[in-house]
Amino acid sequence: MRLAGSGEPGHRGGPPGNLLIRISVTPDDVFDRDGNDLRYKARVPYTTLALGGEVDVPTLRGHAKMRVPPGTQSGQSLRLGGQGIESGGRRGDLFVTVEAEVRAISPGARRSCWKSCGSWARDGIPRENLSLQVRRRWSAQSALRRYPTPVR
């Protein structure tokens, strides 16, 4: 940065010179900076990513609650508006990249959980949890998929 006329007095009574100021920003341990925007990586339980919820994230002004929508993917960035660096009357945003955190549980419980999740993802919702009307519609659609009407 240069401040004209704010430097040392000139030689033999000449006008004062310019003052040159060098500004450097040291990297932060918590945030990465991108202009006025900040970036932060948050480890979030995979259940919160799948089902949605709230996560507490640090900001420059303390902490803020961030809403995580259901079905959020690991590696996806969510924006907290106005939580970045203020410069020139404009405040940047805080972008939070969520990473799935898998907590340690016993191998038996983990296997049981993943087996039930896998069967739901493969087969859909178990039939016993559906109403009779939905089951009838589902059966009719299954029959149409198995025995499609021939095209004439």
Query: What's the pLDDT score for residue 152?
Result: 47
Higher pLDDT, 8 or 130: 8
Q: Which residues contact 77 (CB under 8 A, 6 or more apart)?
A: 39, 95, 96, 97, 98
pLDDT grade for 28, boundaries at 50, 70 and 90 = confident
- For the chain, percent of residues with pLDDT exceeding 90: 30
Mean pLDDT over the full length of the chain: 79
Higher pLDDT, 28 or 77: 77
Most confidently predicted of 23-27, 43-47, 94-98 = 94-98
Query: What's the pLDDT score for residue 150?
Result: 52
- For residues 96-125, one letter each, b for 16 or more C-beta atoms within 10 angstroms of the residue's C-beta and e for the rest, the string is bebebeeeeeeeeeeeeeeeeeeeeeeeee
Out of 7-21, 52-66, 103-117, 125-139, which region has the weakest mean confidence (pLDDT)?
125-139
Label the pairing between strands 37-45 and 94-101.
parallel
pLDDT grade for 69, boundaries at 50, 70 and 90 = very high
Domains located in the chain, CATH noted: 2-101 (2.60.260.20), 107-143 (no CATH)
What's the pTM value of the predicted model, to 2 decimals? 0.59
Query: What's the pLDDT score for residue 37?
Result: 93
Mean per-residue pLDDT, 15-27: 84
